Amino acid sequence: MYQDFSYYYDRFAYDIDYGKFYGYYKKIFEKFSLNPSLVLDICCGTGTLTRLMAKDYEMIGIDFSWEMLDVAKEKDPDATILYLNQSMTDFELYGTVDACYSSLDSVNYLLTKEELIKHFQLVHNYLNPDGLYIFDISTIYKFRHILGNNTFTDETETEFFVWQNTYEDRLLTMDLDIFYQEEDGSYGRVSETHYERGYTIAEITKAAEKCGFFVEGVYDEFTFHSAHSKSERIFFVIRSIKK
């Protein structure tokens, strides 16, 4: 996933307010009395948020897509960030970190409870005692009522983007197509299919606690209000418990 599509990602992600994520993470660190030095960005993508965070923290970014990392590295010509080509369920760091985060539905890409647990186990292994892991998920409500079986489109001067969804049994299938104009006026096409799984708060809480975390809070998007039945995006803040 995110292969050739990676080079178009930022053009069609223009509505993502990365500054909100940056500010919210800082508020979470303050709320839970954490002053991290080294922070891990899991599924860092093209590195836009990683670079924002690097203003205040030493950063490591991991992503499964070489292509996304290529774009991220182009944004960081001074190589201030360590980028590693590794997956959420199979990564290895050189040491531990003070905090981790994963943004924009990355945890939804874990399609089974076994993958979810494996991921939490790895994060716990590389997170210092009392460190925080912050991540957000799109909710089952959002999958069912907002994304559902709908089609979305967008365009630039030279590209046309089509996003077709199929939702069944808590699995969202996203067929992505970009049609782009070549220099000679002809059109090419880039296609990818992505899958995301909807999880309940109880399922994620159970998996996190099983792997040695304490759930500090589950919040409605960019707030410290409790998530509710119509929340579309919710944030988890979980703490690594000392063994």
Query: Inter-axis angle of helices 113-126 and 201-210, to 10 degrees?
Result: 50
- pLDDT at residue 182, rounded to an integer: 80
Determine contact, residues 36/96, Cβ cutoff 8 Å. Answer: no
Q: DSSP 3-state assignment of 233?
A: strand
The answer to whether domain 6-140+198-240 and domain 142-197 are alike in fold is: no
Q: What is the third-level CATH fold of 6-140+198-240?
A: Rossmann fold (3.40.50)
- pLDDT at residue 106, rounded to an integer: 96
Task: Compute the distance between CA of residue 95 and CA of residue 14 in angstroms, rounded to an integer.
Answer: 34
C-alpha closest to that of 214 among 140, 129, 138: 129
148's tokens: 């559902």
- pLDDT at residue 79, rounded to an integer: 79
- pLDDT at residue 77, rounded to an integer: 81
- pLDDT at residue 13, rounded to an integer: 72
- pLDDT at residue 180, rounded to an integer: 85
**What is the dotted CATH code of the domain comprising 142-197?**
2.20.25.110
- pLDDT at residue 4, rounded to an integer: 65
Domain parsing of the chain, residue ranges? 6-140+198-240, 142-197
The string over 85-120, giving b where at least 16 C-beta atoms fall within 10 Å of a residue's C-beta and e elsewhere, is: ebbbbebebeeebbbbbbbbbbbbbbeeeebbbbbb
Which residues, given as ranges, of the chain have pLDDT below 50?
2
